[in-house]
Amino acid sequence: MSTSTYVVEGMTCGHCVSSVKEEVGQVEGVTSVEVELDGGLLTVGSDGPVEQAKISAAVEEAGYTLVSRS
């Protein structure tokens, strides 16, 4: 199992968190998604490596921006 942590910009409420969790959770290989509104932390669990571009695209689909990997 692999875990990656990212920072998401633009989330302001619980609905934002839900949107990001839903979109990232649909990325192939992702097994878990945790999102913290404070600080914008996104933690992604997966069976193996998942391309950052796929995570970024999912975050953008939700309406936000992946600004960095922490």
Q: Residue 1's closest CA among 50, 52, 51, 48?
A: 48
Residue 70: what pLDDT?
58
Residue 1: what pLDDT?
84
Tens of pLDDT, residues 10-67:
999 999 999 999 999 999 999 999 999 999 999 999 999 899 999 999 999 999 999 9
Q: Are 62 and 8 in contact (CB under 8 A)?
A: no
Hey, what domains does the chain have and what are their CATH numbers? Answer: 2-69 (3.30.70.100)
**Does residue 70 or residue 66 have the better pLDDT?**
66
Residue 68 has pLDDT above 90, yes or no: no
